[in-house]
Amino acid sequence: MKVKKYKASSMQDAMNQVRAELGDEAVILNSKAVKTSKFFGLVTKKGVEVIAAVDEEPIKQKRKNHPVPEIEPVKEPVIVQNEQLSIDLSSQRELLDNIQEMKRMMKELKSSNSRDSELPYYFFDIEESLHKTELPTELAQAASEHLYQEWQKSKNLSKRQMTEILKGYFLQLIEQVDFERNIYKKKYISLVGPTGVGKTTTLAKMAASVVLKHGKSVGFITTDTYRIAAIEQLKTYASILEAPIEVCYNAEDFQEAKGKLSHLDVVFIDTAGRNFLNEEFVRDLQAVIDFKSEMDTFLVLSLTSKINDMKKITDQFWKVGIQQFIFTKKDETASSSSMYAMIQQYNIGAAFITNGQSVPEDLQVAYKDLVVTELLEELKQ
């Protein structure tokens, strides 16, 4: 196996070097951002350092013009060892991610070789930023290709104009997704989601908004009997709003609570935060709450969560019936592209975005333009 280190001004330049010397069979073992200095440290320049490797035999095969097989995902942990470098990857996932990233870069490189040489440097900056977001690879590639096609029409686009083109593209993809709906049209509003995403606080923010801005009467039902603190927290909010609250332990309690609060305009239902990757907990929730009875259900997801976990949670709750998302903890992360990715993939909108703990101030109504703007802001980082 041949292992070599490359330094370049950008990932694309590094990949050009890897491809030219090692070929398409090369595997990226490691990559990181580096800084170089000139003129006694007065000038610094960003760059990348890439460690790539390739088997000697595939190189010989390529020189004989033999077809190069596409790299298949590795199913077992791999240890690469030779005289030049010894690598013991801590997990199979890390190696798989590196291989998939290398394959993506190689595809991009083949595509970029056919692109116009007059493309401005900021096009590649935008393209690289797209692939650093939580957007699916296919979506990031499609957005990049759309931007290139638009540039070809005039070949005189500024960075600001390219950003506007991307904004229009991302807005068009979610054009049919429902955002602007009357979320308080139904009598019962339930919030579901995993533990730690801020359901109870979000519920209080929504209830306070209904009372203060819409002048409606509200009440609370909580089925979160797993955490005493959660019940006490909701009771505190209910006391401030002078709203009744009912605690339910089973389906009979829930039906009785609905009867007691039937005279109110809106009843907010708080649910327990559990590890809903376990389908059993979702069934337990369904056994207590009648989600089909004059109710809108919102899935609360934290923007600090991994997008793969968001997807698994959404899949688990899909059978319950989700009207819209609520994304929380915007103030705790610089990344919000997962918000757009979830909306675009599941084709359901977002009702609110929360960006702090204050009740009810830190509750922002979500709309398409805001979600796309947040995505574009992430590209600038």
DSSP string, 111-130: HHHTS-TT--HHHHHHHHHH
Residue 178 lies in a domain: no
What is the predicted pLDDT for the residue at 59? 43
Determine phi and psi for 260, rounding to 5 degrees: -65, -30
The token pair that represents 68 in the structure block: 């190069």
Domain for residue 121, yes or no? yes
The type of residue at 381 is Q
Looking at the fold, whether 12 and 96 belong to one and the same domain comes out as yes
Pair (100, 219) in one structural domain: no
Residue 103, pLDDT score? 55
Residue recorded with tokens 């009875």: 293
Q: Are residues 213 and 192 in the same domain?
A: yes
**Arithmetic mean of pLDDT, 238-263:** 93
Q: Which residue has the higher pLDDT, 356 or 298?
A: 298
pLDDT in the model for residue 262: 93
Residues 249 and 361 in one domain: yes
Report the DSSP pairing between strands 43-54 and 27-38. Answer: antiparallel
Q: Which residue has the higher pLDDT, 95 or 365?
A: 365
Query: Comparing 115-119, 187-191, 348-352, which segment has the lowest mean pLDDT?
Result: 115-119
Same domain, 11 and 135: no
pLDDT at 81: 45
- Mean pLDDT, range 314-329, rounded to an integer: 91
Asked whether residue 135 is assigned to any structural domain, the reply reads yes
With beta carbons less than 8 A apart as the criterion, state whether 247 and 224 touch: no
Asked if residue 121 and residue 67 are part of one domain, the reply reads no
Looking from the CA of 298 toward its CB, the CA atoms found within 13 Å total 32
Pairwise pLDDT comparison (158 vs 113), residue with the higher score: 158
| Predicted pLDDT at 138 | 94
Cα distances (angstroms) measured from residue 248 to each of 157, 207, 219, 227, 258: 60, 19, 14, 13, 10
In a domain, residue 179? The reply is: no
pLDDT at 105 over 60: no
Helix segments in 242-325, DSSP class H: 251-260, 279-288, 307-317
Of 77, 94, 112, the last residue of a domain is: 112
- Taking Cα atoms as reference points, which of 224, 169, 228, 232 lies closest to residue 199? 224
Residues 192-220, mean pLDDT to the nearest whole number: 91
| 71 C-beta neighbours (distance < 10 Å), count | 15
| 111 vs 288, residue with greater confidence | 288
Among 375, 310, 316, which Cα is nearest to 345's? 310
- Full residue range of the structural domain in which residue 299 is found: 188-380
Residue 267, pLDDT above cutoff 90: yes
| Mean per-residue pLDDT, 18-32 | 76
- 169 and 222 housed in the same domain: no
Look at residue 182 and tell me if it is in a domain. no
Asked if residue 363 belongs to a domain, the reply is yes
Confidence at 74, pLDDT banded by 50, 70, 90: very low
- 227-244 per-position pLDDT tens digit: 667 788 889 999 999 999
Pick the residue with more confidence: 105 or 258? Answer: 258
Domain shared by 344 and 213, yes or no: yes
Q: Is 318 found in the same domain as 197?
A: yes
Q: Are 223 and 167 contained in the same domain?
A: no
Determine the average pLDDT of the residues in 298-302.
95
User: DSSP label at 40?
Assistant: T
Q: Domain count for the chain, please give it.
A: 3
Domain boundary among 112, 128, 155: 112
User: Which positions ≥6 away from 72 have C-beta within 8 Å?
Assistant: none
Residues 239 and 369 in one domain: yes
Tell me if 180 is assigned to some domain: no
Q: 55-59, 165-169, 231-235: which has the highest mean pLDDT?
A: 165-169
- Which of 112, 129, 145 is the last residue in one of the domains? 112
Do 13 and 119 have their domain in common?
Answer: no
Most confident of 77-91, 112-126, 342-356: 342-356
Least confident of 66-80, 100-114, 141-155, 270-284: 66-80
Q: pLDDT confidence of 14, banded at 50, 70, 90?
A: confident
Q: Is residue 137 in some structural domain?
A: yes
Residue % of the chain over a pLDDT of 70: 78
